[in-house]
Structure 1
Amino acid sequence: NTTTNTTNCLFVGTHREIEKKILSQTEFEHVPLSVEPVANITRHPLRFLMRNRNAYCSAKKILQRTSVKCVVGLGGMASLSVLYAAKKLSLPVLLMEQNIVLGRANRWFSKHAKGIALTFAETEGIKPATSKLTSVTGNPVRHDIAMLHQSSLMSNEPSPPTLLVLGGSQGATAINRVVMKTIKQIEPRQKANWHIVHQTGVHQEQEIIEFYQQQNISHTVAPFFSEMAPLYQSASLVISRAGATTLAELACTGSPAILIPYPNSVRDHQRKNARYFEQAGAARIVEQQDNPTQTAKQLSNVLSMLFSDKTELTSMQKAMHAIAIPDAAAWVVKMITEITTVL
């Protein structure tokens, strides 16, 4: 993610607001494409074909205009348009798979790639013919978060105990509701000295603030936090979904976690991601039930148990630390260098 005197990065993506917001804060150029998701192929087949054909033509023009030397695909329909344009122009392609299940776009294009960077050695969906192209690089995270890996085992226990709640993306409303129900179920004497840092997403910030005020719990609440490193560093325990980037950040910062996998994730990848971390002893899984009260009951039991067992939290912290690949970005750059004639 660094621009040097010899290398420039161009991000080709979609019109999603989150992409615009993130990249507007950087020096990188962002070119959005109008693509149609695979889910619409049966409902709107003509629109699907036309939009993605146009996206492919636009991507081809972009690659020719910018004299690109290598294309890195991160999955999704927007990436497929660029990947097939790269293939047409005989440009080398590196695929990156952040989840433990190979995504649809990466699966479709894998036979054309020069390399596939994996986060997990156990990634599902790798065909024997393409297995020789894979390397386990880990999932790159921001530099300030990667740097915390060196000190994550030396951090002192936060005082007061601090719970970091990460909603704010897929299924944030469900996480928020469950957490509020959970806090209500925990005995007042146990939560009396807690501090809760809660990322709510865009719709429930004020509701969550009022809830913590009513519960008389120390809190820091915002729709999103741009500076995550100090929040991870101060957290005793994290409640989160099981998205790939968040998990990589949890590992680098040695943050014990309770994971609530998003139940509608494609090919159930969040549950499978979470299971890997649970089996490593780094996290506990709480399944999201149809009835939020049932989820809250399970979450309150796990939360109460972990906050009363410092030995277990320390063990989870060490397991998280062991899973981390803090130099993942360097490994990905190495793969790009290897497959590119001129970087």
Structure 2
Amino acid sequence: MTTAPLILLAAGGTGGHLFPAEALGVELIKRGLRVRLVTDARALRYSGLFSKDMIDVVPSETMRGRSPVALARTAWMLASGIVVAFNLMRRLKPSAVVGFGGYPTVPPLLAARLAGVPGIIHDANAVLGRANRLLSRHVRAIATSLPGVLDRDPALAGKTTTVGTPMRPMVLEATTVAYTPPDTMGPFRLLVTGGSQGARVMSDIVPGAIERLEPALWSRLVLTQQVRQEDMARVRAVYDKLKINVELAPFFTDLPARLAANHLVISRSGAGTVAELAAIGRPSILVPLPGAIDQDQFANAGVLSQANAALRIAQTDFTPDRLASEISALVAEPTRLAAMAQAARSVGRLDAAERLADLVIKTAGI
């Protein structure tokens, strides 16, 4: 009895990297292949497709500074990771290694190159991330979520395929929920999220914006907000004072269902969040993470804002007054919200996992 080919999936330990890896893993298993996840220690908390016996932890280090000490530490950790990952290649004999971004993908993809194992990278952002840029010339195939990401680099464009962002089963389930705009006198459901790591700016700005809304809207509001544990008490105090119907939590494991259940979403614009908003089709106010070297979240938010599916607000402009004004305007225009939802849905791709699986199987030659 022959053993099914093994595909190693390499991803950083955040949801934006792990969730597409999970989605591809589900599709590859459907096709009779085996999968394992190579990542860093953060992913051991992860409770999706990958059980602990399916995870291999490889040392890695994010570039945290340009001082000689920081560079030396990063180089040492990545070199150690390459050695560990190379031994994994020899022991597991994968047919291919697929990376989804983040520095934990660097050692396994470079080890794959050294071992002669086909490497593929997937990037969900509108611009290639730093780790994927480093790896791009060492892999056989590149998959992007959006078209045109590498058009200006002919050497890479020739091995690039646009597939979309693979969606987990719970996201695909959420895409079946049609958007129903709010009734002018009924509940208005608002979801506030900051990505898998949370975002303090949401705790700093959103409560003040809610305070500035017309009091008549307070009784209509059904608010769900992701709040870091250290900010929980001060945020809850504001909403208790206003008697807002609110649910607060540091993280929501069922976020796709919550996206589908709400009339408006306020969020960061990580690649995974933007892709899920598009796939499910929900209007949003997006606040890109400032200070990123490649401004990936700004570009991601631009995809939806240019489609008239979202409002993109720079964090410097994200004030309680501005946010209250935008929420009030949208609440007053249910037809505009419906149009934004439809526009978001027109951007979404639901077959990305299948398309990426096709590319992996072709590249691996299986």
User: TM-score normalized by structure 1?
Assistant: 0.91
Q: Hey, what does 2:239 align to over in structure 1?
A: 212
Classify 1:246/1:5 alpha carbon distance in 2 versus 1 (closer, same or farther; 3 Å).
closer
Q: Cα deviation per residue 1:165-204 (whole Å; 9 max; x = unaligned)?
A: 0025456111111101111111211332110011113322
Deviations 1:89-117 (A, max 9, x none): 11111110110011122122222322211
SS of the residue aligned with 1:71? strand
1:190 aligns with 2:223: no
Aligned-residue offset at 1:22: 1.3
Contact 2:175 2:260 in 1 (8 A): no
Distance change (3 Å), C-alpha of 1:125 and 1:175 = farther
Check the 8 A contact 1:286/1:295 in 2, yes or no. no
Map of 2:339 onto structure 1: 315
Letter in 1 for 2:363: I
Q: What displacement does 1:247 show? A: 0.9
Shift of 1:60: 0.4
Q: Distance in 2 between matches of 1:86 and 1:211?
A: 52
Distance 1:270 1:24 in 2: 25
Cα distance in 1, alignment partners of residues 250 and 197 from structure 2: 13
- Superposed, 1:101-250 pairs within 5 Å as 101-123=127-149, 127-153=153-179, 155=180, 157=182, 159-167=186-194, 169-170=196-197, 172-250=199-277
Name the stretch that deviates more: 170-179 or 315-324: 170-179
From 259, 265, 276, the counterpart of 2:292: 265
1:276-295 alignment runs, 5 A limit? 276-289=303-316, 295=319
Q: CA-to-partner distance for each residue in 1:29-61, whole Å, 9 max, x for gaps?
A: 222222222234534233222221111000101
Q: Give the deviation of 1:317 after TM superposition.
A: 0.4
> Compared with structure 1, are the counterparts of its residues 268 and 134 closer, same or farther at alpha carbon in structure 2 (3 Å cutoff)?
same
Name the residue aligned to 2:55: 30
* Structure 2 letter corresponding to 1:143: P
C-alpha deviation, 1:214, in angstroms: 1.1
Identity score, percent: 27
The alpha-carbon distance between structure 1 residues 265 and 169, as it changes in their structure 2 partners (threshold 3 A), is farther
Pick from 103, 121, 128 the counterpart of residue 95 of structure 1.
Answer: 121
Instruction: Give the Cα–Cα distance (whole angstroms) in 1 for the partners of residues 38 and 114 of structure 2.
Output: 17
Which SS does the other structure have where 1:267 is aligned? coil
For residue 117 of structure 1, give the secondary structure of its aligned residue in structure 2: strand
Moved more, 45-54 or 177-186: 45-54
CA 1:62–1:150: 2 relative to 1, 3 Å:
same
In structure 2, the residue matched to 1:11 is 37
Flag structure 2 segments of 5+ consecutive residues without an equivalent: 1-24
SS across alignment from 2:230:
coil
* 1:296/1:169 CA distance change after superposition, 3 Å: farther
**Distance (Å, rounded) in 2 between the aligned partners of 1:311 and 1:186:** 20
State yes or no: 1:78 paired with 2:104. Answer: yes
Q: Report how far residue 156 of structure 1 moved.
A: 6.2
State the distance in 2 between where 1:97 and 1:307 align. Answer: 35
Q: Does 1:333 align with 2:360?
A: no
Q: Using the alignment, how far apart are the partners of 1:315 and 1:256 within structure 2?
A: 8
**CA-CA distance at 1:243 after TM superposition:** 0.3
Q: Could you tell me which amino acid in structure 1 is paired with residue 335 of structure 2? A: T
Report the 3-state secondary structure (helix = DSSP H, G, I; strand = E; otherwise coil) of the residue aligned with 1:106: helix
Structure 2: distance between partners of 1:168 and 1:241: 6
State the TM-score, normalizing by the size of structure 2: 0.86
Aligned equivalents of 1:228 and 1:52: distance in 2? 33
In the alignment, the residues of structure 1 paired with residue 309 and residue 324 of structure 2 have an alpha-carbon distance, to the nearest angstrom, of 18
Q: Which moved more, 1:311-320 or 1:29-38?
A: 29-38
Deviates more, 1:58-67 or 1:105-114: 105-114
SS at match of 1:38: coil
Aligned length: 336
Counterpart residue type for residue 312 of structure 1: R
What CA distance in whole angstroms lies between the structure 2 residues aligned with 1:314 and 1:102? 32
Distance 1:226 1:69 in 2: 32
Structure 2 contact 181–263 (Cα < 8 Å) conserved: no
Match of 1:57 in 2: 83
Query: 313-322 or 210-219, which moves further after superposition?
Result: 210-219
CA distance in 1, matches of 2:344, 2:288: 17
Q: Deviations over 1:238-285 (max 9, x none)?
A: 000000001111111111000011112341110111112101111001
Aligned to 1:299: 323
Q: Which residues of structure 1 form unaligned runs of 5+? A: none
